[in-house]
Structure 1
Amino acid sequence: MHKEMTLKDVLIRFKPFYKKYWKQFFIVGIGILLTSGGTSATAYMIKPILDQIFIEKKETMLYFVPFLFVLVYFLKNAGSYLQTYYISYIGTDMLRVLRSKVLKNILRLDMDFFKQHRSGELISRCTNDIGALQSIVSNIIPDFLTQLITAIGLLGVVVIQSPKLAFFALIVLPIAIIPLFYLVKKLKLYARNIQEKNSDLLSRLGEIFSNIELVKANNAQNKEKEKFDKENESFCKVILKSARIGSLTSPMMEIIGSIGVAVVIIVGGHEVIRGNMSVGSFFSFISALFWAYTPIKRLSSLYGSIQGAVAASERTFYLLDLEPKIKGGDKKLKNIENIKFEKVKFAYDNSPRNVLNGIDFNFSKGEILALVGTSGGGKSSIINLLMYFYEKKEGEILFNDLDISHFNIESLRDKIGLVTQNIYLFNDSFAENVAYSENLDEKRVVEALKLANAYEFVESMGGIYAEIKEHGKNLSGGQKQRIAIARALYKNPDLLIFDEATSALDNESERAVMQTIENLKKERLILMIAHRLSTVENADKIVIIDQGKVLAIGKDEELLKTCELYRKFKNKEKEMKA
């Protein structure tokens, strides 16, 4: 859940940015003062122009005031330039820093976080929400201060010219502010809904484009379009509701303000007619009053925008404040000699049922251990625990006779090479994909590709610097798997994990890769999950898992004699081949 925040809370969180950009903020402050002061001075100068030039006909003022007018406008627009440029500088750099910080923290979080949040939602938070958050410091607050100082300056001119008229003009302001607070609460609620709906829209688009083959294969284009249209329509409705409320603020201020102006014209007209007030003073007063309503209206509009930005801030700071539940220890894992699971129990969050119920097995360097069992039996969960993606519920997972919780997570994962059922490839060269975990070394890339039986097809596609399309769209399933295997081998880990890693390979490639794995085991521990038992027949240990429990452990020949479930798998595989 997001923590409810006020504008004060948000501004406090921005304290580091005030320190970082204090020079730029100082220049912006000068710009604000020049801009606001120039506007107020312009209103005040109407009095000498009318009274001393046009009514009293003082010729000396005719040559002095226009030049003063030009100087005021020069300073006013110089201030506007300083304010605009340095606000853009602060905003752009802040956006860069915030995006980087949010992504850095998200990448620290546990796998469970990514299972609970859709990718489109996270993309929205890293882009749209941060853009709204950045606008608070770089746009909304400076603009708010500019309008506030301008309004104060102009109202100062109003009071100086006639305190009596100022009373009649400003008495209506409290009447306008009362309904404004109600509208602002509504705007904050709608702003939060807009952020959520935008996330839903991006998630829907992400699903469509990620599964485009499935969509087209099932002629489901219209179905997906209808789903998207519902999300799109819902998004637009919330925006229109927000626009309806936001559009009320300015007209409401203007209508109420017009009452004050009407009273001023009546009272001020009487004052001028009776000779208690000069024409210049009255026009200076009325000009300052009219100009003051513009920043006051702008202030009411900005206050609504602030609520939207605060809603985005809640979502962004929620991500920045999240901490990974799995911390790991301080000990660096230098090498892996053996691994033991002792009475390990595990359940995913919010699940009352254990996925693993007292798992026991062990294997050492130089051995291949295979996990075999029915789907949903807990094999992939064992891999997730070995990678420390999740925390076990009970028992011990020992690396070199020391529990996994003692080791630094980075050093642990540096020693493990993982090839999963889902192949993850980036829109980059073959070389960059293979050398993903470390610095690129051409010789090692070629060696890893050859070991994975992938070098030949990579050369035929243009060599190791040829491009892999997004998600490997220009590769077959078998080619993707071989690149993934090469990536794991390039890492030169102590533990190699293959989760159905050869399922998409043809028989010849599978035999070549299996021979490579057999050769690699001398200096490593190898863990395999396979549904094709032919790939694990030569394993040193085969662990049969069913419903989260170990049924039997042994070699292929032993299990054929002692384990009924293993015999069942073997017979089924023979029938399929026949």
Structure 2
Amino acid sequence: MSQPQDKTELQKALASVKRAFYSAGFFSLFINLLMLVPALYMLQLYDRVLTSRSEDTLYMLTLIVVILFITMGLLEFIRSRILIRVGNKLDSYLNENLFSSMFKRSVNEPGHNSPQPIHDMNSVRQFMTGNGLFAFFDAPWLPIYIGILFLFHPWFGAFALFAVVVLFSLAWINEYSTKALLAEANTESMQSANYASSCLKNAEVVAAMGMEKNLRYKWFQKHLSFLQKQSDASDRASVLTNMSKNFRLMFQSLILGLGGWLAIQNEITPGMMIAGSIILGRALAPVDLMIGSWKGFGQARSAYGRLNELFTKYPTQQEPMALPDPEGQLFAENIMVVPPGAQAPAVRGVNFGLDKGDMVAIIGPSGAGKSSLARALLGVWPLMAGKVRLDGADIHAWDKDALGKHIGYLPQDIELFAGTISENIARFGELDPSAVVAAAKMAGVHEMILRLPQGYDTVLRGDAGLSGGQRQRIGLARALYGNPKVVILDEPNSNLDDQGEQALAEALQQLKAKGTTAVLISHRKQILKHVDKIILMADGQLRGFGPRDEVLKALQDGTLSLGNGK
């Protein structure tokens, strides 16, 4: 895992659109200046047109106002378009890195395979393209409006300052009273959704054993806790939002009363009285909008924090220098593997070397560390100590995308992806029909695929419609696609019938003929007749390694044992 960089990808993305934000702020300056047009128009009507009764003045003022309103509409349209494109640019900048970071987290933190970061990215983008962000652009121009009110009369300015302090206080109380609740509600919402997703993924087991009611109750408890916290936060926010709206309307009315009193005292004109009310309403609008959109701002802020944490923990790595295609030599140098989320090592102090074309079986009791060793050899799990080397190079120094085509892997739990069978076998890369058919034939699954309704073009939606043996054989074909140099098969015959076993045996013979380095993990003894060497694991340690017959003889003689300390 890389060390955190000075800036995360999210911060770099925001920095890349900084000029666009400046442009939006520049347009906001003129938009807010043009917001004074209604007040100034009203001022001129009362103080100039009505006193002079000049129709020409009225026509000219009205024409100017119409032109200015059209200009303001165009500027608001341009500002909105800028922010929409900023959101799209951020998404385009981050989508590949986001998927990569999500993928790394899923590998290193089993159980964290939720698509929540994608939802978080959508939340950030939607807030940036919504009306809520306009409040943050418009609020800095509030002093201009207050300054104009001070020019009208000092009492007008003082009253406006009082109104702004009251509304900002409500905004601060809104933030203080809802921040923690909204954060807890968002966390529990994600936990509830993840729990429901897990239950749905295992729907067959749930239905078969009558677990639905119990699981539904447990999910409902999580969901109810989320609803309660969200309701509490919404209740508090709605009270403050309504208070803010009512206070704003009240202040706009009261400033009319203040203006009326000042007009009676002949300290301002009637036009200033009306214009002052309009300007105060405009000055308070961003604050009111800010309070009204605080929930969306809080969600976007939480989403930003989670995304930033993800990118900090799993930053984008620079592509390493390309290495020559591997030959298949594989070495483990005193490696120690701690499974993600575990405390104790599953593999420790393991040393061995495999030459090109070696066919090796890893055997041992359950919990011996066989699958953990396989994941370490593939470079899927990080090492706490030691090195795994492929052709002398650290397995983690290889570019995964470039190395992937030379590696074949069949895990215990076969996952097929939404798409056609041919796409699954071809690993969703560029489709080579001849290579797909060759891999399927090598795995002994070609005839079975042809019997499906659309053959290789049969669309899979997950694993639906396929038996365990069929999934395993298609997974084997995927592992063999493209003639990889290293193949690691974890329990490749766990779901196979006699026909599948025969197909697997033939595939192993072909791998041996091609000089492919193969590592097999299996509890079935019949697979051992196909291997040259055996790695014996017990309690996470290497108990024996050597030619097949020597290791089996040592086990039979009692020279090697699976017991602790022997």
- After TM superposition, is the score higher than 0.5? yes
Q: Deviations over 1:127-156 (max 9, x none)?
A: 2x1123224544467502453267455445
Which residue of the partner structure matches residue 286 of structure 1? 277
Which residue of the partner structure matches residue 574 of structure 1? none
SS at match of 1:119: coil
1:202 and 1:477 map into 2 onto residues whose CA distance is: 28
C-alpha contact (below 8 Å) 1:372/1:379 kept by paired residues: yes
Which residue of the partner structure matches residue 517 of structure 2? 525
Cα shift at 1:203: 0.8
Q: Deviations over 1:192-249 (max 9, x none)?
A: 3243223213312321221111121122222232222222222222222222232243
Which of 203, 213, 216 is matched with 1:222 structurally? 213
C-alpha contact (below 8 Å) 1:44/1:288 kept by paired residues: no
Which residue of the partner structure matches residue 75 of structure 1? 71
Cα shift at 1:406: 5.9
1:237 and 1:157 map into 2 onto residues whose CA distance is: 46
C-alpha contact (below 8 Å) 1:374/1:546 kept by paired residues: yes
C-alpha contact (below 8 Å) 1:449/1:455 kept by paired residues: yes
Which residue of the partner structure matches residue 477 of structure 2? 486
C-alpha contact (below 8 Å) 1:51/1:279 kept by paired residues: yes
Cα shift at 1:445: 0.9
C-alpha contact (below 8 Å) 1:427/1:467 kept by paired residues: no
C-alpha contact (below 8 Å) 2:97/2:316 kept by paired residues: no
TM-score (norm 2): 0.86
Q: Deviations over 1:441-500 (max 9, x none)?
A: 111111111111111111111455423322221211111111111111113111211111
Q: Which amino acid aligns with 2:153?
A: S
C-alpha contact (below 8 Å) 2:256/2:274 kept by paired residues: no
- Identical residues among aligned pairs (%): 20
1:208 and 1:555 map into 2 onto residues whose CA distance is: 46
In the TM superposition, 1:452-531 aligns within 5 A as 452-462=443-453, 465-522=456-513, 523-531=515-523
Cα shift at 1:93: 3.6
Cα shift at 1:342: 4.8
Which residue of the partner structure matches residue 535 of structure 2? 543
2:495 and 2:173 map into 1 onto residues whose CA distance is: 61
Which residue of the partner structure matches residue 17 of structure 1? 17
1:277 and 1:119 map into 2 onto residues whose CA distance is: 66
Compared with structure 1, are the counterparts of its residues 110 and 327 closer, same or farther at alpha carbon in structure 2 (3 Å cutoff)? farther
| 1:51 partnered with 2:47 | yes
2:107 and 2:10 map into 1 onto residues whose CA distance is: 29
Aligned length: 552
Task: Note the aligned Cα RMSD (angstroms).
Answer: 3.5
| 1:170 partnered with 2:166 | no
Which residue of the partner structure matches residue 379 of structure 2? 388
C-alpha contact (below 8 Å) 2:106/2:113 kept by paired residues: no
2:272 and 2:518 map into 1 onto residues whose CA distance is: 91
Cα shift at 1:92: 3.3
Cα shift at 1:529: 0.8
Cα shift at 1:42: 0.6
Which of 78, 82, 86 is matched with 1:86 structurally? 82
Compared with structure 1, are the counterparts of its residues 12 and 45 closer, same or farther at alpha carbon in structure 2 (3 Å cutoff)? farther
Which residue of the partner structure matches residue 63 of structure 1? 59
Q: Deviations over 1:242-294 (max 9, x none)?
A: 22232243344355556755764454333322433332222222233344333
C-alpha contact (below 8 Å) 1:47/1:283 kept by paired residues: yes
Q: Which amino acid aligns with 2:533?
A: K
| 1:370 partnered with 2:361 | yes
In the TM superposition, 1:49-448 aligns within 5 A as 49-108=45-104, 111-113=107-109, 115=110, 117-120=111-114, 123-127=115-119, 129-135=120-126, 137-139=128-130, 142-148=133-139, 151-152=142-143, 154-254=145-245, 256=247, 264-302=255-293, 305-323=296-314, 332=323, 334-348=325-339, 351-400=342-391, 404=395, 409-410=400-401, 412-436=403-427, 438-448=429-439
SS at match of 2:73: helix
SS at match of 1:14: helix
Greater mean alpha carbon deviation, residues 543-552 or residues 476-485: 543-552
Cα shift at 1:525: 1.5
C-alpha contact (below 8 Å) 2:369/2:539 kept by paired residues: yes
Q: Which amino acid aligns with 1:202?
A: A
Cα shift at 1:503: 1.5
TM-score (norm 1): 0.84
1:325 and 1:76 map into 2 onto residues whose CA distance is: 42
SS at match of 1:471: coil
C-alpha contact (below 8 Å) 1:328/1:405 kept by paired residues: no
